[in-house]
Amino acid sequence: MNISKRGQITVFIIVGITILLIIGLFIYIQSATTIFTPERVIPPKLKPLDNFIGGCINMIARDGINIIGANGGFIRFPQEIALNPFASITTHPEITDIKTPLWNYNGQTRIPSEDYIKEDLAYYIDQNLDQCLNNLEDFKTQFIINELAERKIIVELKEESTNIVLDYPLEIMSKAENQTTRIN
């Protein structure tokens, strides 16, 4: 082999290694850099209200998930289970809210679908949220709070978690500052 050819090969190897290092560095920087884009911005004076609503949702959702777990996937039992004492097993004769439904009874499969579970949990949260929020009475000395539309609850079941999204548009007017803010 010629000395000039060896020199050319060495140059190509050095250029190749340099390109690989640049690509590796680019990938590392790309993965190490996090871009923060908040979904929503809450003014600091409204943070306690936002935390209160979030706490209520969290508590009620956990209760609902526990009920679903204890009741074999149901909060509200379908009529074919609720009206038939042989379609479920109760562990305590006086506690009728918690029972284990027979998912396969008399040749009928009664396993709740994922959509049914999501709908049931959203219903449970919606039915119990008002009691927890108490019409936001704790905040009415500082704010005038108006609901702009009906709230919507979206439940997302994931492998390792359950996400609850509350679409609850509010118009909040500070009594002290006479300033109005809209939050969702």
List, in sequence order, every residue forming a beta bridge with 146; answer none if it has no partner: 171
| Residue 87 pLDDT grade (very low, low, confident, very high; cuts 50, 70, 90) | low
**Span 3-55, pLDDT tens digits:** 556 667 777 788 888 888 888 888 877 776 655 555 667 777 888 888 888 89
Q: In terms of Cα–Cα distance, which of 105, 113, 106, 108 is closest to 68? A: 113
Q: Tell me the whole-structure pTM to 2 decimals.
A: 0.68
CA 74 vs CA 51, 66, 117: distances in Å: 29, 10, 7
Query: What pLDDT does 121 receive?
Result: 92
| Cβ proximity of 158 and 175 under 8 Å | no
**Span 109-144, pLDDT tens digits:** 777 888 988 999 999 999 998 898 888 888 888 888
Residue 88 makes CB contacts below 8 A (sequence gap 6+) with 77, 81, 99, 100, 101, 102
